Amino acid sequence: MSEANNARPMLVLDNIVKIFNAGTVNEKIALNGLSLTINDGDFITVIGGNGAGKSTLMNAITGVFKVDSGSIVLDGEDIGHLPEYKRAKYFGRVFQDPMMGTAAGMQIDENMALALRKGQFRGLKWGVSREEREDYKARLAELGLGLEDRLTSKVGLLSGGQRQAVTLLMASLKRPKMLLLDEHTAALDPKTAAKVLEITDRIVGENNVTTLMITHNMKDAIEHGNRLIMMHEGRVIIDVSGEAKKNLTVEELLSMFAKASGGEFTSDRAMLS
Amino acid sequence: MKKLTSILLVALMLVGIVMSAASCSAPSKPLPVVCGESGMNTDCGIATYGIDYYALGVAAGNMAADILIDGKAASTIPVGGEADPALIVNQAVADEIGFTIPQSVLDKAGSKSDTRVTRNTAAIVSSGADYTVGILQLTQHDALDQSNEGFKDQLSVRVAAANKTISFDDQNASGDESNNVTIAESFVAKNVDLIYTIATSSSQAAVTAASETDIPVIFNAVTDPVGAGLVESLTAPGKNVTGISDINPVEKQLDLIAELLGKDDVKIGFLYTAAETNSVYQVRTLGIPHCNSKGYTYVEKGISDINDLEAAITALKNAGVDAIYIPTDNVLANGCATVHTINTGK
Amino acid sequence: MIDIILSGCGQGIIWALLAIGFYIAFRILDFADMTCEGSMTLGGAVTAMLIWQGVNSFLAVVIAFIAGLLAGAVTGVLHTKLKIPPILSGILTMTALYSVNIHIMSIATGTSGTANLSLLKYIDDTVFAIIRSIIPLSKRDVTLVFGVIIVLGTIGLLYWFFGTEIGCAIRATGNNEKMCRAQGINTDNTKIIGLALANGLIAVAGSLLTQHQGYADVKMGVGSIVIGLASIIIGEALFARAKGFFFKLIGIAVGSVIYRVIVALVIYSGMPSDDLKLMSAVIVIAALAFTNYKNEIVGAFKKLFSRFKKKPEEKEEKSNE
């Protein structure tokens, strides 16, 4: 894992506010004046209790909705006004649900071909070329899951872990500016989850891509990445990086949270894992 | 902002309610109605010259007999129609709307003598007949059914008189155009001796299917056979196709309106379904030129479906028409009771 | 009887184009498109009107295709830009097309409100008549032959198209729309293109049918959705093991032909034609039941056959004792 390049911010979030159902009894302030500077090459793990705003943060960055106030500047460009599909070419996203990142009815090579053309005009050229197939085979072989022999299998036939691995490959295929991982191992069994995380580390390291990874597992959050942030009620309350992060233990993290938020960490999942 | 829009909406609704109440409050006098078809007239009209679809069927049966038994060529038989329509008076409706029918009209009135023909069932066999006739009817509908019955009754009588037998292959397309083609082609495949079709699109399908055979086609219930491409002219069909047009005597019916109201410069309100070719033909090609030649004035109100009736009738009344004329129209055929209810304001 | 089967095949092969078009919307784009009834009639109305004006009938088919493209695009825009639900978008376009079709037919006759346009005077100008002037075929055969050529050609073209980049994007849109947006695919555009293509094909079916049956009628699209669905379901039931897009489409074409042949046989056999629609429903139900309960049905048949197999074996055992 290379050191973060401190001189160059990749994503600057300034005072982001997002309120759902404003003015009603269901009003929820999901992001409450959140500010965060992510540097090029950072691999940030994000933890927090339910409703802390982690997924909302990712949705705000990718443009699933527009924020109520605050600015989102990606690599110097203000992307806050762009619709989702126009921001898509900058980001690679992997979701918790293995079904979401791929088209189940289409083949592995077709899915990867779709990802390769992200941001490009899609015309009448053939969908998957022979050269591409060789490239995909090589990349799939690196995963060590035996998928390189199943290029023409429909993705729907793969297991959850295999699908997430393919989604990861697809997300990083065009060297995006940022990789956004939203609890992408949460739906997998521990053994597969560990494998997928191992693949994640390798892909992030090889491509040196700025990564934001949401996880509910505090141990994983400490062991992966170079920087850890903890969110609570729509803001960042803990931000640890470098050596301090490496040497953290789960107990220390919990007490840091109690001090910063004035309450016990309420996520059972995080506690028990 | 939301509160303002909801207040505006409620205000608009109230205005609408007040306006429609105002337009309803003045009890509008019911207008005399004349319909193109006698069945329709029974529900809402006071008088008309009526076409008897059963009689049309009988006429078609005679044509078929001429072709099959006497060997006449279809192309030599001119297209027939209702030659002498009966003047039918509907006293009940007239009394209900408080309209006095002039004596001159009453004198001419009289329902036609019973045209029922008793079918000769002995002549109809299911196999081994001397003649096979394929019948293709577009949809289940009273007028179409009547012309079917009349045809079978009369033809069976003529066949029996010639000491022959006949079998009928009676098919209904159930309103589905694709079935028209399939049924017509099946008749051709079975090589029937004659095809009898009821309604325009069924006739067109049959004529196309039989075009390269020598199977004659007799059509019925087609208002404009020339426009439908079935024959070249009414007097000389030109192909192995002939039949009966169910065009109602529009001109006579409009003159009847003038006679009923006792004035030569009547204002007639045409009420019809805008998308029906037959209705448009009766109103625009026959009705309006006749009005122009006789000096009647007119107002047109085309509807797209039954739900527009109320608005259309109200508009005609507001335009000050003396009477309403409804041509033979498939949509309005089922809506005459509604017309009457709206007209009388019940 | 052969005649009636072949005539059913001829009709069925033209309806296959409609079924394939409907399949693109219904299965590939996962969009229940009701525009079908309107765009089919549109194809017929445009073709009949153009032939009346003396336009070459082959060119008329091409123009009908373009008209269908536009109709499908309208439905697509209603859904993507105005956020109207899929079924409603199709119904709205179909309803609007009713009036449009009447206007188009009225151009030919000059009388407004024309709802039926006869081609009987122009019967020698249709594509079928033109082909027959070159190759001596009977009326029934020319529809079948020309239909097969067009359908095979269309399937080939579609196979190529859905393998291109944009074709893959359209397939993916029907499969997982969210993922497509994340991959930068403009799903609004892919939906519009897919729907346009589907209705273009449906309009061509309408065009060929009009030239086959000799008239265009504003009501000719009524019931076409049921026919399209029935063709797809029968095709999928029989070709369930078909792998590959090409064979799936062939399966639908065959399904369409089978459906029309069954209807023709039913009519030929003299069943009361009031029951035709009931028959159509029964055919579709049977096909669906077969698809869903295939294993049970096949298993039941196997049991029957195994009983017959056992009897001779038992006899052998008895004779051995």
> C95 at the A interface (CB within 8 A)?
no
> C124 at the B interface (CB within 8 A)?
no
Report the C-alpha gap between C17 and C88 in whole angstroms. Answer: 24
What's the number of domains chain C is made of? 1
Query: What's the pTM value of the predicted model, to 2 decimals?
Result: 0.80
Residues of the domain holding C14: 2-222
Q: Do C165 and A124 touch (CB under 8 A)?
A: yes
In a domain, A167, yes or no: no
Instruction: Scan for tokens 């005609």, then name that residue.
Output: B316
| Contacts by residues B88-93 (CB-CB < 8 Å, ≥ 24 positions apart) | B88/B38, B88/B41, B88/B47, B88/B48, B88/B49, B88/B50, B89/B46, B89/B47, B90/B41, B90/B42, B90/B45, B90/B46, B90/B47, B93/B33, B93/B44, B93/B45, B93/B46, B93/B340
pLDDT tens string B115-170: 788 888 888 888 888 999 999 999 888 889 999 999 999 999 999 999 999 999 99
C211, C219 contact by CB (below 8 A): no
Q: Which residue of C has its CA nearest to B276?
A: C115
What's the number of domains chain A is made of? 1
In a domain, C47, yes or no: yes
The shares of helix, strand and coil residues in chain B, as percent rounded to the nearest 5, are: 50, 20, 35
> C167 at the A interface (CB within 8 A)?
yes
**Could you tell me the pLDDT band of residue B113, with boundaries at 50, 70 and 90?**
low
For an interface test with A, the pick among C29, C159, C168, C193 (most A C-beta atoms closer than 10 Å) comes out as C168
Length of chain A: 273
Work out how many CB contacts closer than 8 A connect A with C.
81
pLDDT tens string C3-43: 888 888 999 999 999 999 999 999 999 998 999 999 999 99
pLDDT for the residue C237: 84
- Structure-token pair, residue C222: 């009524």
Q: Do A115 and C183 touch (CB under 8 A)?
A: yes
Specify which residues B220 forms β-bridges with. Answer: B198
CATH annotation of B30-50+249-344:
3.40.50.2300
- Structure-token pair, residue C273: 């034609």
Q: Do B280 and C111 touch (CB under 8 A)?
A: yes
pLDDT tens string C225-256: 989 988 998 898 888 777 788 899 999 999 99
Q: Do A127 and C181 touch (CB under 8 A)?
A: no
In a domain, C33, yes or no: yes
pLDDT for the residue B132: 94
Q: Which of A136-150, B12-26, B201-215 has the lowest mean pLDDT?
A: B12-26
Residue B252: which H helix or E strand, with range?
A: helix B250-261
Q: Which residue of C has its CA nearest to A62?
A: C182
pLDDT for the residue B116: 83
DSSP state letter for A88: G
A161, A200 contact by CB (below 8 A): no
Query: Kindly report the CA angle at B314 between B310 and B320, in degrees rounded to 5?
Result: 155
C306, C313 contact by CB (below 8 A): no
> C243 at the A interface (CB within 8 A)?
no
Q: Which residues of chain A from 109 to 128 reach within 8 Å of chain C, CB to CB? A: 110-111, 113-115, 117-120, 122-128
In a domain, C319, yes or no: no
Selection from A88, C49, C14 nearest residue B185 by Cα: C14
Query: Kindly report the CA angle at B197 between B193 and B202, in degrees rounded to 5?
Result: 125
Helix residue ranges, H only, chain A: 54-62, 84-87, 108-116, 130-143, 160-172, 190-207, 218-223, 242-246, 250-261, 268-272
Whether the per-residue pLDDT at C156 is higher than 90: the answer is yes
Selection from B44, B28, B129 nearest residue B338 by Cα: B44
Whether the per-residue pLDDT at B16 is higher than 80: the answer is no
Report the C-alpha gap between C305 and C293 in whole angstroms. Answer: 19
In a domain, C77, yes or no: yes
**Could you tell me the pLDDT band of residue B24, with boundaries at 50, 70 and 90?**
low
- Which whole number is the average pLDDT over B229-238? 90
- C72 C-beta neighbours (distance < 10 Å), count: 32
The CATH number given to whatever domain includes residue A225 is 3.40.50.300
In a domain, A114, yes or no: no
In a domain, A97, yes or no: yes
- Pick C182's closest partner by Cβ from A93, A123, A126: A93
pLDDT for the residue C321: 43
- Which whole number is the average pLDDT over C106-121? 84
- Structure-token pair, residue C11: 């009709």
DSSP state letter for A42: -
Whether the per-residue pLDDT at B332 is higher than 90: the answer is no
In a domain, C48, yes or no: yes
pLDDT for the residue C55: 93
A106, C175 contact by CB (below 8 A): yes
Whether the per-residue pLDDT at C214 is higher than 50: the answer is yes
Strand, helix or coil for residue C166: helix
Task: Say if strands B323-326 and B33-35 run parallel, antiparallel, or are unpaired.
Answer: parallel
pLDDT tens digits, chain A, 273 residues: what are they? 444 445 688 899 999 999 998 888 888 889 989 999 999 989 999 998 888 889 899 999 988 889 999 999 998 899 989 988 788 888 888 988 888 888 988 899 999 999 888 878 888 888 888 888 888 988 888 888 888 888 888 898 999 889 999 999 998 888 889 999 999 998 888 888 888 999 999 989 888 899 999 998 888 888 898 899 999 888 898 888 888 888 888 888 888 877 877 665 555 555 555
Report the C-alpha gap between C96 and C41 in whole angstroms. Answer: 12
CATH annotation of B53-86+113-245:
3.40.50.2300
Specify which residues B194 forms β-bridges with. Answer: B133
- B166 C-beta neighbours (distance < 10 Å), count: 26
- Structure-token pair, residue C130: 């033109």
pLDDT tens string B44-94: 888 888 888 888 999 999 999 999 999 999 889 999 887 778 888 888 888
Length of chain C: 321
Q: What is the mean pLDDT of chain B?
A: 87
What are the backbone angles phi and psi of residue B212, rounded to the nearest 5°?
A: -105, 20
Residues of C in contact with A84 (CB under 8 A): 181-182
Domain locations along chain B: 30-50+249-344, 53-86+113-245
> B330 at the C interface (CB within 8 A)?
no
Residue B3: which H helix or E strand, with range?
A: helix B2-25
Instruction: Scan for tokens 């073209």, then name that residue.
Output: C157
Q: Which residue of A has its CA nearest to C172?
A: A103
Instruction: Give the gap in angstroms from C-alpha C121 to the nearest C-alpha of chain B.
Output: 6
> A106 at the C interface (CB within 8 A)?
yes
Strand, helix or coil for residue B85: coil
Report the C-alpha gap between C22 and C20 in whole angstroms. Answer: 5
**Percent of residues, chain B, with pLDDT higher than 70:** 96
pLDDT for the residue A7: 61
Q: Which residue of A has its CA nearest to C28?
A: A105
Length of chain B: 346
Which residues, in sequence order, are CB contacts of A99 under 8 Å at separation 6+?
Answer: A163, C176
Tell me the ipTM for this assembly: 0.78
Task: Say if strands C215-217 and C116-118 run parallel, antiparallel, or are unpaired.
Answer: antiparallel
Task: Say if strands A69-74 and A9-20 run parallel, antiparallel, or are unpaired.
Answer: antiparallel
What angle, 0 to 180 degrees and rounded to 10, lies between the N-to-C axes of helices B177-190 and B200-209? 40
- N-term to C-term CA, chain B: 43
Cα B229 to Cα B302, C122, C214: the distances in Å are 25, 9, 10
pLDDT for the residue A180: 93
3-class SS string, A187-228: CCCHHHHHHHHHHHHHHHHHHCCEEEEECCCHHHHHHCCCEE
pLDDT for the residue B23: 54
In a domain, A128, yes or no: no
For an interface test with B, the pick among C143, C267, C274, C283 (most B C-beta atoms closer than 10 Å) comes out as C267
- Which whole number is the average pLDDT over C202-220? 93
Phi-psi region of C30 (alpha: psi -120 to 50; beta: other; left: phi over 0): left
Phi-psi region of C185 (alpha: psi -120 to 50; beta: other; left: phi over 0): beta
